[in-house]
A and B are shown apart, each in its own frame.
Chain A
Amino acid sequence: MEIIEIIAIIFIPVAYASIGELICERSGILNLGIEGNMILAAFIGWFFSTQYNSIFIGLIFVLIIGILTAFIFWLLIEFLELQQHIVGLGIGFFCNGLALTLFRLTPSSLKESQINLIINKDFLILFTGIILLVICIILFNKKSRFNNMLSLISDDIRSADLIGIDFKKQRLFAVLLGISLIFISGYLVSCLFMQSFTMGIISGKGWIALCIVILSRWNIRYILIASLFWAILEIGQFYIQSSEINIPYQLLLMLPYLGCFIVVAIGGSGKNIPKMLTKIYNRQEDAS
Chain B
Amino acid sequence: MRILNRIELIQKINKNKFDFYAQLYSLLFAIILIFFILFLSGLNIVDAVISFFYFSFGSWFLFNENLIIIGILGISSIGITLAKKCNFWNIGGEGQILLGALGGVLVALFWPETAYLFGNFTAIVLSLLFGGLIPLIIAILKVKRGADEVVLTLLSNFIIILLIAFLVSGPLQDQATKWIQSPTISSNFTLPKIFGFGRLGISIVIYCIILIFFFLIEKFTLLNSSLLVLGDNINSLRIIGYKTLPLFYITIFLSGALCGLSGWLEVSNYQYRLIENLVPSYGYYAILIAVLANSKILNTAFYTIICAIILNGIDGVSREFDLPIFMNYIVFGATFIFYSIIFKLKGKKIIIKK
Taking CB atoms, residues of chain A closer than 8 Å to B350 are none
- Do A253 and B162 touch (CB < 8 A)? yes
B284 at the interface (CB under 8 A from A): yes
| B89 nearest in chain A by CB position | A85
Q: Provided the pairs A86-B291, A214-B150 are in contact, do residues A76 and B340 lie with their beta carbons within 8 angstroms?
A: yes
Taking CB atoms, residues of chain B closer than 8 Å to A92 are 333
Bound form: Cα–Cα A93–B310 in Å: 14
- Do A82 and B329 touch (CB < 8 A)? no
A189 at the interface (CB under 8 A from B): no
How many A residues have CB within 8 A of the partner chain? 48
- Do B344 and A214 touch (CB < 8 A)? no
Bound form: Cα–Cα A83–B16 in Å: 13
Chain A 113-171 interface residues, beta-carbon cutoff 8 Å to B: none
**Distance between B64 CB and nearest chain A CB, rounded to angstroms:** 26
**Distance between A230 CB and nearest chain B CB, rounded to angstroms:** 11
Q: Provided the pairs A87-B340, A250-B162 are in contact, do residues A105 and B151 lie with their beta carbons within 8 angstroms?
A: no
Bound form: Cα–Cα A93–B158 in Å: 18
B243 at the interface (CB under 8 A from A): no
- Do A101 and B327 touch (CB < 8 A)? yes
A60 at the interface (CB under 8 A from B): no
Instruction: Determine which of A93, A100, A257 lies in contact with B324 in the assembled complex, contact meaning CB atoms within 8 Å.
Output: A100
A266 at the interface (CB under 8 A from B): yes
B188 at the interface (CB under 8 A from A): no
A90 at the interface (CB under 8 A from B): yes
Instruction: Determine which of B326, B336, B345 lies in contact with A80 in the assembled complex, contact meaning CB atoms within 8 Å.
Output: B345
- Do B329 and A94 touch (CB < 8 A)? yes
A55 at the interface (CB under 8 A from B): no
| A98 nearest in chain B by CB position | B330
Taking CB atoms, residues of chain A closer than 8 Å to B334 are 90, 94
Bound form: Cα–Cα A192–B334 in Å: 31
Bound form: Cα–Cα A260–B292 in Å: 30
- Do A266 and B145 touch (CB < 8 A)? yes
Taking CB atoms, residues of chain A closer than 8 Å to B150 are 210, 214
B176 at the interface (CB under 8 A from A): no
**Distance between B278 CB and nearest chain A CB, rounded to angstroms:** 16
**Distance between B84 CB and nearest chain A CB, rounded to angstroms:** 10
A283 at the interface (CB under 8 A from B): no
Most buried by B among A92, A95, A215, A264: A264
Taking CB atoms, residues of chain A closer than 8 Å to B329 are 93-94, 96-98, 100-101
- Do A97 and B152 touch (CB < 8 A)? no
Most buried by B among A86, A104, A105: A86
- Do B324 and A104 touch (CB < 8 A)? yes
Q: Provided the pairs A86-B337, A264-B148 are in contact, do residues A250 and B284 lie with their beta carbons within 8 angstroms?
A: no
- Do A97 and B162 touch (CB < 8 A)? no
Bound form: Cα–Cα A253–B158 in Å: 9
- Do B344 and A101 touch (CB < 8 A)? no
Interface 9-residue window, one of B124-132, B165-173, B212-220, B226-234: B165-173
| B41 nearest in chain A by CB position | A105
How many B residues have CB within 8 A of the partner chain? 47
Taking CB atoms, residues of chain A closer than 8 Å to B165 are 250
Q: Provided the pairs A94-B330, A214-B151, A270-B147 are in contact, do residues A261 and B156 lie with their beta carbons within 8 angstroms?
A: yes
A288 at the interface (CB under 8 A from B): yes
Could you give, for residues 239-267 of chain A, a 1 whenever the CB lies within 8 Å of some chain B CB and a 0 otherwise? 00000000010110110011011001111
- Do B163 and A254 touch (CB < 8 A)? yes
B155 at the interface (CB under 8 A from A): yes
Bound form: Cα–Cα A94–B33 in Å: 11
A269 at the interface (CB under 8 A from B): yes
Instruction: Determine which of B162, B292, B328 lies in contact with A254 in the assembled complex, contact meaning CB atoms within 8 Å.
Output: B162
- Do B336 and A89 touch (CB < 8 A)? yes
Bound form: Cα–Cα A242–B203 in Å: 45
B223 at the interface (CB under 8 A from A): no
Taking CB atoms, residues of chain B closer than 8 Å to A207 are 154, 158
B239 at the interface (CB under 8 A from A): no
Instruction: Determine which of A90, A95, A269 lies in contact with B146 in the assembled complex, contact meaning CB atoms within 8 Å.
Output: A269
Instruction: Determine which of B41, B151, B332 lies in contact with A269 in the assembled complex, contact meaning CB atoms within 8 Å.
Output: B151
Taking CB atoms, residues of chain B closer than 8 Å to A7 are none
- Do A89 and B340 touch (CB < 8 A)? no
- Do B166 and A91 touch (CB < 8 A)? no
Instruction: Determine which of A87, A98, A251 lies in contact with B162 in the assembled complex, contact meaning CB atoms within 8 Å.
Output: A251
A81 at the interface (CB under 8 A from B): yes
Taking CB atoms, residues of chain A closer than 8 Å to B340 are 76, 80, 82-83, 86-87, 90
Bound form: Cα–Cα A80–B340 in Å: 9
- Do B333 and A97 touch (CB < 8 A)? yes
| A residues neighboring B (CB under 8 Å) | 36, 76, 80-83, 85-87, 89-98, 100-101, 103-105, 204, 207, 210-211, 214-215, 248, 250-251, 253-254, 257-258, 260-261, 264-271, 288
Known: A87-B337, A100-B324, A248-B166. 7 other contacts (CB 8 A): A93-B288, A101-B37, A215-B148, A248-B170, A268-B141, A269-B151, A270-B148
| B residues neighboring A (CB under 8 Å) | 4, 8, 37, 41, 141-142, 145-148, 150-152, 154-156, 158-159, 162-163, 165-166, 169-170, 284, 287-288, 291-292, 323-324, 326-337, 340-341, 344-345
What are 29 A-B interface contacts by the 8 Å CB criterion? Answer: A82-B341, A83-B291, A86-B292, A89-B284, A90-B336, A93-B332, A93-B333, A97-B326, A97-B329, A97-B330, A97-B333, A101-B324, A101-B329, A101-B330, A104-B326, A105-B41, A210-B151, A248-B166, A254-B158, A254-B163, A254-B166, A257-B155, A257-B158, A261-B152, A264-B155, A265-B145, A270-B142, A270-B146, A270-B147
